[in-house]
Amino acid sequence: MIIFYFIINATIVSTIMCLADRINHHIPLSKQRSFCFNCQHQLKWFDTLPIVSALLTLGKCRYCHYSFGLYYAIIEGSVAFWLTHVGTHPHLYITMLLLLFLSIEDQFNHTAHTWILYPWLGYLTLRYFNHLNLWLILFLGLLLIYLALFRRSLGSGDIPVILVIAVISNTEQLIWILLLSSIIAIIYSKAKAKHVLPFIPIVTLGFSLVTTYVDAIT
């Protein structure tokens, strides 16, 4: 059954990545089936198999041999593994899928449709209201607004991302997530010599790592 769930999760992850790619490239969802962005050749069904197709083609288009790397296989495999073994709770599951979609958007052009998180944030707040550290959430929200509006060190779209993670995590987990995300951001900026970072993928990675090893660090 685990293999079955993994395949289903990999398919869902692949679909979300495809959706994000189409939006990033301004391609209508109603347009033809999946195709190579480089040569425009329509892909066969076996070209779109999650993980497997990218590995068999070594991350290249079968028609024009354009290399897109093993990026898709790595993301599909790692996120599907997380969903199968860690994110079995519906709230964690949905949160990760939303963060995955936004991460791909942010990685591509440093913008994301983070407004889709506000309804989910509202639901989670009501669901966990009795267990929330409201003062911490309020302080964090004000701090994020200050950093986004006055210090310009954070994008306004990053605010709902962090708040969703704050609501769904306990205080200790949140501290670890923010700490680990900061370390990853510093290492990434030094390695790539970039001053503008795609924050959502970084904090999503921190979130996934902490939730995976929560028993070991808390």
pLDDT higher than 70, residue 10: yes
pLDDT in tens, 146-197: 888 887 777 788 899 999 999 999 889 999 999 999 999 888 888 776 667 8
Return the structure tokens found at 157.
């779209």
Rounded to the nearest integer, the mean pLDDT of the chain is: 86
pTM score: 0.89
Task: Report the C-alpha gap between 69 and 86 in whole angstroms.
Answer: 27
Q: Cβ distance 61 to 137 under 8 Å?
A: no
pLDDT in tens, 82-125: 999 887 789 999 999 999 999 999 988 888 899 999 999 999 99
pLDDT at residue 37, rounded to an integer: 78
pLDDT at residue 195, rounded to an integer: 66
Domain regions of the chain by residue span: 1-85, 89-218
pLDDT at residue 32, rounded to an integer: 67
pLDDT higher than 60, residue 218: no
Return the structure tokens found at 53.
């197709």
Q: Show Cβ contacts of residue 20 under 8 Å, excluding neighbours closer than 6 positions.
A: 101, 104, 105, 108
Most confident of the following: 25-39, 151-165, 200-214: 200-214
